[in-house]
Amino acid sequence: MRIVTIEEHVSFPEMTDLIPNYQSDKKQSSNALMQMVPKLADVSGERLQSMNESGISMQVLSVENTDVNLLDSQSAPIFASKYNDLLADKMKDHPDRFTAFAHLPMTTPMAAADELERTVKTYGFRGAMIRGTTNGEFLDAPKFAPIFERAEQLGVPIYIHPGIPPKPVIDAYYSNIGDQTGPFDAIACWGWGWHSETAIHVLRLLVAGVFDTYPRLKIIIGHMGEMLPMMWDRSNKAFQPGNGGKNKRTLIETFKQQLYMTTSGIFTQPPLQIALDTIGIDNIIFSIDYPFSTNQMGVDFLHQIKLPPEQVAKIAHENADRLLGL
């Protein structure tokens, strides 16, 4: 069976070393995170070997969190363009195994829209991945409209991935826990915080009317829906049209038409069942979150799904093929 995964990360030292403060931040990183550096930098070595061993047909690559917000408005577009060129070059020998989401200079939205178009038309990139907020601003801010407009025109999706929470949020919610001083990363990020923030991000787009303004726009989120399936019915009741937001359709109507969820990093059956019962099988796309999760871990989960083979195939590759034009 063909298997496509679409939340798979890369990070190239020749680019991250250009970011202000990156070297000092790297020294403070955990040993576990530092062990990922070679895996993130690799495309055609261990990564491809692991894909072959686990039966993964194609990965859609995306740039791991590089704090482009530290770059000024002149430097950011140049940096993003150079990063995308390098990514395309590293994939070029394996066009049947790799494609990518563009890395965008989010501090300059019009340049970000132009870079999205350039990478789609020049390299065949399949959309873009945006990581969390940009200098504390969510994507419902009017300044980001050019990105959505261009994505809709090009017919490519935007993947909203969690990012590091803004410092005021870290200070208020994720620091000074008990007698421990400073932030506690597991609560702020992968253990809870960034999943709830991504759900908030998507709900803000709904309430701001962004989905209605761009009705052909497709948004992807990871980690089995970033908690939204669990809150599906309650949130749908809260965000009815006319309840103070600008949305013209219900949450359920909107998300079934324009939102996709991936399985990245969530490899147990109960969360999948909730996603199936809410957004539905046509909007669920298999993903690994490589290298932070192993390919084999994800594929083992895929093969344990108790659905008819034709439905498993939708999750494994058909939905991704259709959405991304693979």
Which residues face 61 on adjacent strands?
A: 8, 100
**Across the chain, what does the average pLDDT equal?**
93
Task: With a cut of 90, say whether residue 27 has pLDDT above it.
Answer: no
Task: With a cut of 90, say whether residue 39 has pLDDT above it.
Answer: yes
One-letter amino acid at 9 equals H
CA distance 91 to 43: 7
Q: Identify the sign of the CA torsion 307, 254, 116, 138.
A: negative
Phi, psi of 176 (to 5 degrees): 55, 55
Do 219 and 260 touch, CB atoms closer than 8 A? yes
**Mean pLDDT, residues 311-323:** 98
CB atoms within 10 A of CB 9: 21
Q: Which CATH architecture has domain 4-161+192-324?
A: Alpha-Beta Barrel (3.20)
Half-sphere exposure of 190 (CA within 13 A, CB side): 7
**Mean pLDDT, residues 195-210:** 97
Radius of gyration (C-alpha) of the chain in whole angstroms: 19
Do 202 and 171 touch, CB atoms closer than 8 A? no
Lowest mean pLDDT among 15-29, 219-233, 266-280: 15-29
CA distance 319 to 196: 25
CA distance 326 to 317: 9
Task: With a cut of 60, say whether residue 289 has pLDDT above it.
Answer: yes
| Structure tokens, 27 | 């020294």
Q: For residue range 43-71, list pLDDT tens digits in order.
A: 999 999 999 999 999 999 999 865 666 67
Distance of CA 13 to the CA centre of its chain: 21
Angle between helix 46-54 and 295-303 (nearest 10): 20
| Structure tokens, 51 | 């894909």
Torsion of CA 133, 136, 141, 147, to 10 degrees: -40
Do 52 and 97 touch, CB atoms closer than 8 A? no
Q: Where are the domains of the chain?
A: 4-161+192-324
DSSP 237-269: HHT-TTSSS--SS-HHHHHHHHEEEE-TT---H
Angle ∠(189,195,199) on CA atoms, nearest 5: 145
Alpha-helical runs (H) found in 31-166 = 31-35, 37-41, 46-54, 75-91, 109-123, 145-154
**Mean pLDDT, residues 85-96:** 97
pTM confidence score: 0.95
CB atoms within 10 A of CB 210: 23
Do 7 and 288 touch, CB atoms closer than 8 A? yes
Residue with tokens 């055609």: 44
**Mean pLDDT, residues 278-285:** 98
Return the DSSP state at 36. Answer: T
Half-sphere exposure of 3 (CA within 13 A, CB side): 21
Within 8 A by CB and 6+ apart from 191, the residues are: none
